[in-house]
């Protein structure tokens, strides 16, 4: 059972856990500042109630954390109008003024990192250590773009004639629709919104229905930072209303730009919506990352990289390694050492427990998908080296499979769970053929100490990001994005601001003496 009450300006949600594991059989309190537990939509600087609400559930227990306003098409249209009204004065702020406000937002996010992390753990299920890491990552994007705001440069180009000058300006595109996923409910917002606000755009954020609380808390801190009304708007809604709300946000003629992170299938739908009014789009879509370990690799470092890449957020990241390809000479050693590392380092439990490293999957459907991939692989001859079992609710045992073949389901579709399928290969070209045999290409990883091989493989992998002897590659300073059906455009880095800018050419003539 769950209950919510306030005391001394802080909000508490208490739940009694039962089932697996035994550590969950205790009373748990979500103790955060009451000002940060927002449950209404945020439009034009005001908190707005909708006609109905939808529940936000703790994925570890299924218990209700909060009821949130279920915004519909009317609220979505109001949010777009508010953003459009705010766009013209916001773009006329100087870059320095926008930079200062973003820096204040960064400072507040950092100041409230504990409460923001608790919200992520409550609605997303991440272990608290990872949630704190996400808040640091989230804040880093705001800090980065607060600095990039003052570095949006144009050009002066040598003209073909003496009587003119050629000037190139960069200007904000306008209102941006921001549609974000549940697996990084804070960082995926700041990575997009930070860039948009830095260059003078305004935004309407549609957070995932599973994790709206983080988005609303960020909106509250933006108010405290002094960001003007209408610059940031948040429209939470239920799964049932998402298609209609998404259509409004992607077809309204006042919207100039769409930025989406999510599945490839949903991205294709949004692209169709955007086509009607030829909107600018950024799409960070599905991944199915290969993780290649060559005979020349340092096996211990490869195992450490695999642990970091695969089991972060219980395998629920778009850049998680999904397809493990290990060369025959070190295959057995790698599998043995990886199994031992899993035994030592992984602990399943509620994210609030300090010893937990593996929280729940986001919902039962996600657990069923992993379970089906394991069953499919085993039915075709794969061997379970570790784990393999579905636990209570949406919990899964971290699972290691050997004797995996490329025609198994886990090698053909993204997992989004704690499953490590290992394929043995013989030659470099064989590994590349397997790695590139996918319609998506977001991230890829490989381990090798052969310099020539490193250059060959890094250049030939058909992905947008490559980790060479490294399993953690995301950084605000680096461009994030993929190729093939993994999306369009880049986020983060100096290139991230370009997604929210139009280029204007000015020919200044009549200058002949």
- Catalytic residue IDs: 284, 318
Helix axes 113-124, 212-225, angle to 10 degrees: 160
422, β-bridge pairs: 324
Contact of 135 with 367, CB cutoff 8 Å? no
What value, to the nearest 5°, has the Cα angle with vertex 358 and ends 355 and 362? 135
| DSSP strands (E only) in 159-200 | 165-172, 175-179
The DSSP bridge pattern shows strands 175-179 and 255-261 to be parallel
Q: How far is 119 from 214, CA to CA, in rounded Å?
A: 6
233, β-bridge pairs: 204
Contact of 65 with 28, CB cutoff 8 Å? no
Query: Computed over its alpha carbons, how large is the radius of gyration of the chain?
Result: 24
Contact of 289 with 321, CB cutoff 8 Å? yes
Contact of 417 with 316, CB cutoff 8 Å? yes
430's CB contacts (< 8 A; 6+ apart) are none
379's CB contacts (< 8 A; 6+ apart) are none
Strands laid side by side in the 155-157 sheet: 155-157, 165-172, 501-508
Contact of 294 with 428, CB cutoff 8 Å? yes
Q: How far is 361 from 480, CA to CA, in rounded Å?
A: 24
């Amino acid at each position: 059972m769950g209950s919510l009450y306030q005391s001394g300006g802080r909000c508490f949600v208490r739940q009694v856990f039962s089932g697996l594991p035994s550590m969950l059989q205790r009373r748990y309190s979500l103790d955060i500042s009451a000002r940060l537990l927002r449950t209404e939509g945020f439009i034009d600087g005001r908190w707005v109630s909708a006609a109905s609400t939808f529940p936000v559930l703790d994925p570890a227990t299924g218990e209700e954390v909060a009821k949130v306003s279920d915004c519909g098409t009317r609220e979505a249209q109001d949010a777009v109008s508010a953003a459009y009204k705010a766009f013209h004065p916001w773009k006329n702020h100087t870059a320095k003024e926008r930079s200062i406000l973003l820096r204040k937002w960064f400072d507040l996010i950092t100041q409230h990192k504990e409460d923001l992390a608790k919200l992520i753990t409550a609605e997303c299920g991440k272990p608290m250590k990872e949630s704190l890491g996400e808040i640091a990552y989230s804040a880093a994007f705001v800090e980065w773009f607060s600095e990039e705001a003052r570095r949006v440069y144009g050009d002066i180009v040598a003209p073909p004639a003496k009587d003119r000058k050629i000037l190139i300006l960069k200007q904000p595109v306008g209102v941006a629709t921001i549609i974000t996923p549940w697996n990084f409910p804070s960082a995926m917002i700041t990575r997009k919104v930070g860039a948009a606000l830095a260059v003078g755009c305004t935004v309407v954020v549609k957070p995932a229905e599973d994790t709206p609380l983080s988005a609303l808390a960020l909106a509250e801190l933006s108010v405290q930072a002094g960001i003007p009304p209408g610059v940031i708007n948040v429209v939470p809604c239920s799964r049932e209303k998402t298609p209609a709300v998404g259509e409004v946000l992607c077809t309204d003629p006042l919207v100039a730009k769409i930025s989406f992170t999510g599945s490839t299938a949903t991205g294709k739908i949004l692209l169709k919506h955007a086509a009607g009014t030829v909107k600018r789009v950024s799409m960070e879509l599905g991944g199915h990352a290969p993780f290649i370990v060559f005979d020349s690799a340092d096996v211990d470092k490869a195992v450490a990289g695999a642990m970091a890449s695969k089991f972060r957020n219980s395998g629920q990241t778009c850049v998680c390694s999904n397809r493990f390809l290990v060369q025959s000479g070190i295959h057995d050693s790698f599998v043995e050492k990886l199994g031992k590392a899993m035994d030592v380092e992984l602990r399943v439990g509620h994210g609030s427990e300090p010893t937990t490293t593996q929280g729940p999957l986001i919902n039962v459907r996600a657990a069923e998908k992993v379970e089906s991939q394991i069953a499919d692989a085993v039915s075709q001859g794969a061997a379970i080296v570790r784990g393999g079992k579905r636990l209570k609710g949406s919990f899964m045992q971290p699972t290691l499979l050997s004797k995996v073949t490329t025609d198994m389901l886990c090698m053909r579709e993204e997992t989004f769970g704690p499953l490590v399928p290992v394929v043995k290969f013989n030659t470099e070209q064989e590994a590349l053929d397997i790695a590139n045999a996918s319609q998506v290409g977001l991230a890829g990883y490989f381990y090798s100490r052969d310099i020539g091989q490193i250059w060959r493989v890094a250049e030939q992998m058909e992905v947008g990001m490559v980790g060479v002897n490294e399993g953690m590659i995301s950084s605000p300073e680096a461009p994030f994005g993929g190729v093939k059906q993994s999306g369009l455009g880049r986020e983060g880095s100096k290139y991230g601001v370009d997604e929210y800018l139009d280029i204007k050419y000015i020919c200044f003539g009549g200058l002949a003496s």
